[in-house]
Amino acid sequence: MKKWIIGIIVVLLIAVAVLAIYRFNFSKSINQDAATHEQIAAILEQNNCMMCHSFEAELPFYGNFPIIGKTVQEDMNRGVRFINLGNIDFEHINEANLAKLEQAMMNNSMPPTNFKMIHWGSGFNNEEKAVIANYVRQHRAERFATGLAAAKFANEPLQPMIDFIPTNPDKVALGFDLYHNTELSADGTVSCATCHPLDNGGVDGTRTSEGIYGQFGGINAPTVYNAVLNHVQFWNGRAETLAAQAAGPPVNPVEMGEQTWDDIVNRLKSDEILVARFEQIYPDGLTEHNVTDAIAQFEMTLITPDSPFDQYLKGDMNAMTAEQIRGYELFKAHDCATCHVGQAVGGQSFETFGIAKNYFENRSEEIVYNEDDNGLMGFTGNEQDLHRFKTPILRNVALTAPYLHDGTAQTLHDAVITMMEYQTGAKYNDEEVDYIVEFLHALTGTHPLMTKEE
Bond into 222 cis (ω within 30): no
As measured in angstroms, the least distance from the Cβ of 358 to ligand HEC is: 13
Residue 255 catalytic?
yes
Give yes or no for a contact between 229 and 279, defined as CB atoms under 8 angstroms apart.
Answer: no
Q: Which is nearer to ligand HEC, 155 or 315 (CB)?
A: 155
**21 Cβ neighbours under 8 A, 6+ residues apart:** none
As measured in angstroms, the least distance from the Cβ of 2 to ligand HEC is: 28
Nearest one of 373, 397, 395, 377 to 386, comparing CA atoms: 377
As measured in angstroms, the least distance from the Cβ of 3 to ligand HEC is: 27
As measured in angstroms, the least distance from the Cβ of 203 to ligand HEC is: 9
As measured in angstroms, the least distance from the Cβ of 415 to ligand HEC is: 4
Give yes or no for a contact between 320 and 328, defined as CB atoms under 8 angstroms apart.
Answer: yes
Candidate list 102, 255, 288, 299, residue with the active-site label: 255
The CA distance from 64 to 70, in Å, is 7
Give yes or no for a contact between 39 and 129, defined as CB atoms under 8 angstroms apart.
Answer: no
Nearest one of 248, 178, 186, 190 to 216, comparing CA atoms: 190
Nearest one of 311, 394, 345, 444 to 99, comparing CA atoms: 345
Q: Which is nearer to ligand HEC, 47 or 343 (CB)?
A: 47
The CA distance from 409 to 402, in Å, is 6
- In one-letter notation, the amino acid at residue 374 is N
Q: Which is nearer to ligand HEC, 160 or 392 (CB)?
A: 392
Nearest one of 399, 403, 400 to 417, comparing CA atoms: 403
As measured in angstroms, the least distance from the Cβ of 79 to ligand HEC is: 3
Give yes or no for a contact between 252 and 246, defined as CB atoms under 8 angstroms apart.
Answer: no
Q: Which is nearer to ligand HEC, 159 or 423 (CB)?
A: 423
Q: Which is nearer to ligand HEC, 140 or 405 (CB)?
A: 405
The CA distance from 401 to 415, in Å, is 9
User: Which pairs with CB-CB distance under 8 Å and at least 24 residues apart come from 40-45?
Assistant: 40/90, 40/131, 40/132, 40/135, 41/90, 43/124, 43/128, 43/131, 43/132, 44/85
What residues are annotated to the active site?
255
